[in-house]
Amino acid sequence: MTRRRLPPLARAALDIGPLVLFFAVLAMTNVFIATGAFMAVTVVTLATGYAYERRLSPMAAVTALIVLVFGGLTLWLHNDVFIKVKPTILYLIFAAILSGGLVTGRNLLKYVFDQAFHLDARGWRLLTWRWACFFVVMAIANEIVWRNFSIKVWAGYKLFGAIPITFLFAMAQAPLILRHHIEEKSSETTL
């Protein structure tokens, strides 16, 4: 049975939508109202993805959990530092999960993306290390931006900086993916 998957543009809208809303609400109001809207839309997008695909993406589930915890702390303690460090924590969690998986002999990136493309073992290892390092760099960048600029500049960086940088990094992995691509074994046998 083939699992239903959201079309790529719909998946991108669900992934980026909460951040776009956060940025828009922040531009019109304040960080606390924007954080509440961010949390609510994150839950809606997670539920929408689940309703369509009948599964929770591990990455989306972890992201939603972190958004709810750090957004909740932001609102409860009325301190915007929590929502600003959320990306740092999230990036470091992803880096730790990916590197920890490799160290223990489990390639978790393959688990997430095996339906999208098929690589040999070395390709999965290289791609996973690259993404782990990328997440560490993004955590450092988030720390630099939120500590040195206003909340609106930081939110703009998240939407207009971090997302395009992530997209460009993903596209830059195409040569590695092509070099280590293996054809999927056919389930049909020839007589």
- Give pLDDT tens digits for 120-162: 889 999 999 999 999 999 999 999 999 999 999 999 999 999 9
Q: Are 4 and 52 in contact (CB under 8 A)?
A: yes
pLDDT at position 1 is 54
CA distances from 29 to 18, 35, 72, 147 (A): 16, 11, 18, 21
| pLDDT surpasses 60 at 170 | yes
Q: Write down the pTM of the prediction.
A: 0.83
Spell out a b/e string for 77-105, using b for 16 or more CB atoms within 10 Å of the CB, else e. eeebebbbbbbbebbbbbbebbbebbeee
For residue 62, give the amino acid letter.
Answer: V
State the DSSP code for 185.
Answer: P
Report pLDDT for 121.
87
